[in-house]
Structure 1
Amino acid sequence: MTLYSYVVRYDIGFAPNPFRGLCSVATCKPVIRAHAAIGDWVLGVGSAEHDLRGRLVYAMRVEETVSYDQYWSDSRFRDRRPSLGGSRMQAFGDNIYHRDPVTGAWVQENGRHSLPDGRPNTDHIERDTRSDRVLLSQEFVYFGGDGPVIPAGLRSGDRDFLKNPRGHAVVRDPAHIDAIVEWVQTLGSGRLGRPADWPSLERPDRRVSERWQP
């Protein structure tokens, strides 16, 4: 078992997408998506710019992986396609990629990673599709901007998996992973908070930076 950790720079319910009893990582972090195996853990931690450094945003145990075409065509995930006229949760659906059946070219649906006018964003297409793989889990906990502080004993010294804010960190030591997972499993399960970048009365200083405003 391997544990991957990275900083969630934009927490808007898109990557990860923690809704409807399922946590999915369908975009960004192509290296993690390419290498994470069934049974591995992925942890998202808070960013310094959100004053959330050292806090847990979410944790998931990878239970299933699918390709983009499988994700798009599988009826289980149809409600994860973006719907810009719906709720904020629907607008940030992460089921945005599939291949054109004739040309084989990538199709990017109008969503979070598109250009402001809805046209495909080639930079995001190139980055996201470096790994044609979506990570899925029903065994997860998501806190958004309200996550607990990760105990110092789990990330101290040369085992600190918060040291690489731009890429990701990998933990392979079984004892260290067991300690992290044991702590995570005491926190509850499912979606227990709201995305840090969603506007709220509790956080009037935080705003969704995309074109979907409240």
Structure 2
Amino acid sequence: MPRVYFYKLTVDSGAAPCVKNGILSLAICKPTIRATAQVGDLIFGFAASSLYSDNCLIYAARVTQALHEGRYFVDERYASRDDCIYYLKQGRFQRRKDAKFHDKPTDLRHDLGDFPEYLRANVLLSNDFRYFGNAATDMYKARFPTVACAVTELGRGQRVRLEPALRLEFEKMKNWIWMTTPEKVVGRPSNASRPGVCHRTKSCHMV
């Protein structure tokens, strides 16, 4: 049975998620989701209060492809994407000089893991998504109160072990979003991209 993940974004700058050419990708940040989510799973990203006070929905996506062992960063098809910020040199990943995100020395380890295994170098792709960005709203709250309550109570990290009622409401919410929003991309990233800005919360562990 497909799983449902949901979490809060503190920054929405085109890094995580990255939306380009009809594909939404999670290549950096949220290493636990990237390591465990599989094709068919649903991911919902809501705004943290520091981003938007109403916890509006930034994006929802169904995973359609999962790449492991750093394949995303060595595949030329993805080289022009803004979140493809690492490249392989003599068996080691390094940050691209023109990368827009994650310029701290600790970021590579957090994103990809330790050399030589790079166990965190997992990337999720979706061509079945809705991205709202700066056009995000909290309209879902009135129709899906169980989801709204769970999002409000969520702290740092993400949830995936959901009680049946909450899971069912998330599935209904996904269908409602797809039905009422035919466009994959509705808005633009809420924040400007800055290399020094951290695009992750302090904790990336499951709640």
Distance 1:29 1:195, change over 3 A: same
Distance 1:191 1:137, change over 3 A: same
Q: State the percentage of identical aligned residues.
A: 27
Q: Aligned pair 1:147/2:136, yes or no? A: yes
- Following superposition, the deviation at residue 134 of structure 1 comes to 0.5
Distance 1:158 1:73, change over 3 A: closer
- Following superposition, the deviation at residue 60 of structure 1 comes to 0.8
TM-score (norm 1): 0.75
Moved over 4 A (4+): 208-211
In structure 1, C-alpha distance between the alignment counterparts of 2:154 and 2:109, rounded to whole Å: 23
- Following superposition, the deviation at residue 16 of structure 1 comes to 0.5
Unaligned 5+ segments in structure 1 are 81-92, 116-120, 199-207
In structure 1, C-alpha distance between the alignment counterparts of 2:16 and 2:62, rounded to whole Å: 15
Unaligned 5+ segments in structure 2 are 114-119, 197-207
- Following superposition, the deviation at residue 75 of structure 1 comes to 2.9
Distance 1:185 1:171, change over 3 A: farther
Q: Aligned pair 1:105/2:68, yes or no? A: no
In structure 1, C-alpha distance between the alignment counterparts of 2:52 and 2:147, rounded to whole Å: 22
| 2:54 alignment partner, SS class | coil
Q: Which residue of 1 aligns with 2:202?
A: none
Deviation sequence 1:95-125 (CA, Å, 0-9, x none): 012433x3x322121323343xxxxx32111
Q: Aligned pair 1:133/2:122, yes or no? A: yes
In structure 1, C-alpha distance between the alignment counterparts of 2:56 and 2:148, rounded to whole Å: 19
Deviation sequence 1:109-147 (CA, Å, 0-9, x none): 1323343xxxxx321111111421100011111110211
- Following superposition, the deviation at residue 176 of structure 1 comes to 2.9
In structure 2, C-alpha distance between the alignment counterparts of 1:99 and 1:123, rounded to whole Å: 17
In structure 2, C-alpha distance between the alignment counterparts of 1:79 and 1:163, rounded to whole Å: 37
| 2:80 alignment partner, SS class | helix
In structure 2, C-alpha distance between the alignment counterparts of 1:137 and 1:42, rounded to whole Å: 10
Deviation sequence 1:49-101 (CA, Å, 0-9, x none): 23343211011100001136321232321221xxxxxxxxxxxx10012433x
Read off the aligned partner of 2:171 and give its amino acid letter: D
Distance 1:155 1:4, change over 3 A: farther
In structure 2, C-alpha distance between the alignment counterparts of 1:61 and 1:157, rounded to whole Å: 17
CA contact (8 A) 2:11 2:51 kept: no
Deviation sequence 1:144-174 (CA, Å, 0-9, x none): 0211212245353897144223211225435
In structure 2, C-alpha distance between the alignment counterparts of 1:13 and 1:157, rounded to whole Å: 25
In structure 2, C-alpha distance between the alignment counterparts of 1:23 and 1:133, rounded to whole Å: 14
Q: Which residue of 1 aligns with 2:78?
A: 77
Q: Which residue of 2 aligns with 1:95?
A: 84
Q: How many residues align?
A: 183
Q: Aligned pair 1:195/2:199, yes or no? A: no
Q: Which residue of 2 aligns with 1:177?
A: 170
Read off the aligned partner of 1:123 and give its amino acid letter: T
CA contact (8 A) 2:86 2:94 kept: yes
TM-score (norm 2): 0.78
